[in-house]
């Protein structure tokens, strides 16, 4: 009985550690995503989720962003990018995983 209880605790601990794993992605969002507060809304959402990184407009009309933080929070922010703020019309989202730097702090609109 003792061993069974220890196993359950260590199993839960491993699950918690994997949820806290740091993840970094580069995201490209296309559609009507400039001039609709996409960057400011992304910063606000990232700060609420505790995700670091930056977001900027590209000359071709897309928005580019880098997100780094706990894997679950980064995934949630990427899911949000598929919708964006109310006036955005997202047509596509490309996501590229990158090695986490571990040094990212805060979130910047460029």
Catalytic residue among 8, 20, 24, 57: 57
Residue found by looking up tokens 């740091």 in the block: 22
Taking CA atoms, 19 is separated from 4, 8, 29, 73, in Å, by 23, 17, 25, 9
Query: Catalytic pick from 24, 39, 43, 62?
Result: 39
Catalytic-residue membership of 24: no
Kindly report the number of other CB atoms within 10 A of residue 32's CB atom. 14
Q: Which residues pair with 29 in a beta bridge?
A: 63, 93
Which residues touch 107 (CB under 8 Å, ≥6 apart)?
Answer: 43, 46, 47, 51, 52, 53, 54, 55
Residues involved in catalysis: 39, 57
């Amino acid at each position: 009985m003792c061993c069974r209880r220890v196993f359950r605790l260590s199993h839960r601990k491993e699950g918690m550690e994997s949820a806290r794993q740091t993840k970094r992605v580069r995201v490209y969002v296309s559609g009507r995503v400039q001039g609709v507060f996409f960057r400011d809304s992304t910063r606000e959402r990232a700060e609420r989720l505790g995700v670091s990184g930056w977001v900027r407009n590209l000359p071709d009309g897309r928005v580019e962003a880098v997100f780094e933080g706990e894997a679950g929070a980064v995934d949630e922010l990427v899911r949000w990018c598929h919708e964006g703020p109310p006036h955005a019309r997202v047509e596509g989202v490309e996501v590229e995983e990158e090695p986490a730097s571990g040094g990212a702090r805060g979130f910047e609109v460029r």
